[in-house]
Structure 1
Amino acid sequence: MASLKEVRSRITSVQSTQQITKAMKMVAAAKLRRAQDNILRMRPYAQRLSGILTNLSQLTEGSVSNIYSEKREANRVLVIVVTSDRGLAGAFNSNIIKAANTLAQGKYRNQLESGNLTFLTIGRKGAEALSKRGYKVIGDFTGTFANLSFDTVRLAAERAMDGFVAREFDQVDIIYNEFKNVATQIVRNEQFLPIEDKPVEETASSMVSDYTFEPSKEQIIEELIPKSLKIQVYKAVLESNASEHGARMTAMDKATENAGELLKELKLTYNRTRQAAITKEILEIVGGAEALAAK
C-alpha cells in the first residue's frame, strides 16, 4: 500500500491537472464561440458564390475555356490536409491523419508507389505525422491558425491551384473536419480540382435570367472561379478551426471529469491508509503496554 506522503502527492498533482483542464476548457469555449460565428457567417456566402458560379457556367454552355475544370487522368495527386497546430483535442487530429493515410494506402496506392502522391498540410500536427510516415509533404503552412485570415489561407490555396495549372498535379483533394456541433466533427474528403460539375436547381436557373452582366459573362466567370476556389479552402479551414475548439472543449471537459473521479478514489485511499496507520499505532501502543505489564 502506498504511503500517506505518496497519496498526498498524487492528490496534489491531480488537483493541479484538474485546474489546468478546467482553464483549457474555458479558453476553448471562448474561442469556439468566435470560430462558430465565423463559420456560420461564411457558409451562406460560400454556398451562394458557388451557386452563382455554377449558374453562370451553365449559361455559357462550355464556351469559356476554364483550366480549373480540365479533367485529366489522375497520375499526379495532391491532397490538402487540414489539422491543428496543437494537440489535446481528443481524436480531432488523429481522425484526419487516419483518413489521409487510408487514402494514400487505398485509392492512391499506385500514385504513392510511383512517387506521385503529395500532401500539402495546413497545421503542424498533420505535417509532423505525415512526414514521420515517409510521405512527401510540401508547403510550410504551420502557424496558420495563430493568425487565421483569408490572406494566410489564400497562400495555401494558390499553391495548389498554381500546381494544377502548371500540370504539376492532375487532381487535388482536400481533407478536413466539418463542424457540426461541440461534440461532433465530421471528416470530409472532397475533390478540390478539377472542379466537379454540379446540377443546377430550376429555381436557381430562373434567377440567373434576371442578371445583368457587366462586363461579359465569360470575364465574370474567369474572375469568380479562382476566388471561389480560395473561398472553398478558407471555408474548410474555418470549419476545421471551429471543430478543433469544439473537440478540445469536449476533451478537456472529459479530462476534468476523469480527474474528479480519480480524486475521489485517491481521497478514499488516503483515508483508508490513514486509518490503517492509526490502527497500527494503537496496536503497537497496546502491545507495548501489555509487554510492560507482563514484566
Structure 2
Amino acid sequence: MPTFEYFRKKLEHTGDLLSVVKTMKTLSAVSIRQYEKAVESLEDYNKTVVSGLHILFYRNPRISAQISRQNTGKVGVILYGSELGMCGQFNDEIASFMTENLHKQDISGEQTIVLTLGTRIAGLLEANNHAVERIFSLPGSVKAITGSVRELLVQIEDLRTKQNLELIFLFYNKKTSGASYTPHMIQLWPLNLDWLKELSQKEWESHCLPFYRTDERKLLSGLIKQYLFVSLYRAFAESLASENASRLAAMQAAEKNIQEQMNELQTQYNHLRQSAITAELLDIVSGFEALSE
C-alpha cells in the first residue's frame, strides 16, 4: 500500500515537471512572437523586390525567356522540420505533406535531392528509407536566420550547377492563428512563369514609370537572388513560428494532464491522511473506553 512518503515524493516530482512545462510554454509563446515580427518586417522588403520584377517584366515581357526550366528530371526539395522535440506531429505532418505533393506530380524518390532543416525531420525521412543529401541546423534566433539563409543559398547554387536541377520546392509549416499551422509548399525555382506573365500584364500603380540604367540581365539576376533570399528567410521564420506554436499546444495539453494527475495524487494523499487520522482517533476512543471500564 502506498505510504505518505510515496505520495509526497510523487507530488514533489509532478510539481517540478509542471514548472518545466510552464517554462517551456512561456519560451514558446515568446519565440512565436519574435518570428511573427520577423515575417511582418519582411513584407516591405518583399514588396520592393516584387515591384522591381514587376517593372522589369512590364517594360520587357520577353525577358522571361531567360528563366528556363531544364528537363533533367532532377528535383530539389528543401524541407523545414525541427531541431528539438516535444512539438507534437509537426515533423510528421510536413513530411507526409511533402510525400503526397511529390506523388501528385509523379516525382519519385529517386528523382529528388533532399535538403532538410533540422535533425528531427532528417531522422524521420531516413527511417522511411528516404535519402537526405544534407542536414542543416536550424537557427536559434531571428538574428541567426540571415546566416542560415546564406549558407542554404550557397548549397542551392552548388546543386543547381552540379546537378542541373529542373525544379526546387520548399516545404514548410506556416502558422495560421493561435497555436495552429498548416503545411505549405512553394516552387522556389524556376520562378513561376504564370506569375511572371501576370506581372508583365499588370498595370503600374502610378503614372510615373521607374527607369533603370543597369543591364537587364544583371538586374534580373540581382532581383532573383533577392527574391530567393526573401522566400527562404520567410520559410525559416514561418516554420520556426509554427514549430513553437506546435510546442505551445503540446505543452498546454501536457500542463492539463499534469494538473489532473496532481489533483488525483492530492486526493489520494488526503484520503490516506484522513484514514490515518480516523484510525488514530478510533484507537484513542477504544483506549479511553477500555480505561473507563
Matched, 1:49 2:54: no
In structure 1, the residue matched to 2:234 is: 235
Residue 16 of structure 1, CA deviation:
0.4
Matched, 1:6 2:6: yes
Shift of 1:270: 1.4
2:171 pairs with one of 170, 175, 178 = 175
Tell me, in whole angstroms, the C-alpha distance in 1 between the residues paired with 2:87 and 2:250: 6
Q: TM-score, normalised by structure 1?
A: 0.83
In structure 1, the residue corresponding to 2:104 is in which secondary structure?
Answer: coil
The 8 Å contact of residues 120 and 137 in structure 1, kept in 2 or not, is answered as yes
State the shift of 1:213 in Å: 0.7
Distance 1:201 1:227 in 2: 19
Contact 1:144 1:153 in 2 (8 A): no
Task: Tell me whether 269-278 or 185-194 shows the greater mean CA deviation.
Answer: 269-278
Report percent identity of matched pairs.
23
The number of residues matched between the two structures is 288
Q: Is the 8 A contact 2:85 2:120 kept in 1?
A: yes
Q: CA deviation at 1:81?
A: 0.5
The question of whether the paired residues in 2 share the 8 Å contact of 1:77 and 1:171 is answered with yes
Provide the residue aligned with 1:153 in structure 2. Answer: 149
- Which position in structure 1 is the counterpart of 2:114? 119
Matches within 5 A, 1:256-267: 256-267=255-266
Task: Render the CA deviation track for 1:173-229: whole Å, top value 9, x for unaligned.
Answer: 111111233312121012111211212387653549611112133331122112211
Q: How does 1:247-262 map to 2 (within 5 A)?
A: 247-262=246-261
Distance 2:76 2:51 in 1: 26
Inter-partner Cα distance in structure 2 for 1:166 and 1:205? 39
- C-alpha displacement of 1:234: 1.2
**Change in 2 beyond 3 A, CA 1:206/1:31:** closer
CA contact (8 A) 2:35 2:237 kept: yes
Distance 2:166 2:140 in 1: 28
CA distance in 2, matches of 1:57, 1:141: 35
Distance 1:109 1:213, change over 3 A: closer
TM-score under structure 2 length normalisation: 0.84
Distance 2:89 2:200 in 1: 37
Distance 1:121 1:32, change over 3 A: same
User: Which one of 95, 100, 103 corresponds to residue 102 of structure 1?
Assistant: 100
* 1:1-295 → structure 2 map (5 Å cutoff): 2-63=2-63, 66=66, 69-73=67-71, 75-103=73-101, 106-107=103-104, 111-112=108-109, 115-145=110-140, 148-197=144-193, 198=195, 199-200=198-199, 204-207=203-206, 210-280=209-279
- Identify if the C-alpha distance between structure 1 residues 283 and 204 changes in structure 2 by more than 3 Å, giving closer, same or farther: farther
5+ residue gaps, structure 2, are none
Q: 1:201 to 1:220 in 2, by over 3 A?
A: closer
Please list the CA deviations of residues 263-291 of structure 1 after superposition, one character each: whole Å capped at 9, or x if unmatched. 1121112112323344456667778999x
C-alpha separation in 2, matches of 1:158 and 1:62: 29
Separation (CA, whole Å) in 2 of partners of 1:281 and 1:204: 90
Structure 1 portions without partners, runs of 5+: none
Tell me the amino acid that sits aligned with residue 107 of structure 1.
Answer: K
User: Residues 38 and 63 (structure 1 numbering): CA distance in 2 closer, same or farther, change over 3 Å?
Assistant: closer
Q: Residue 50 of structure 1 aligns to a residue in which SS?
A: helix
Q: What is the CA distance between 1:4 and its match in structure 2?
A: 3.2
* Contact 2:79 2:172 (C-alpha < 8 Å) held by counterparts: yes
Asked if structure 2 preserves the Cα contact closer than 8 Å seen for 1:79 and 1:118, the reply is yes
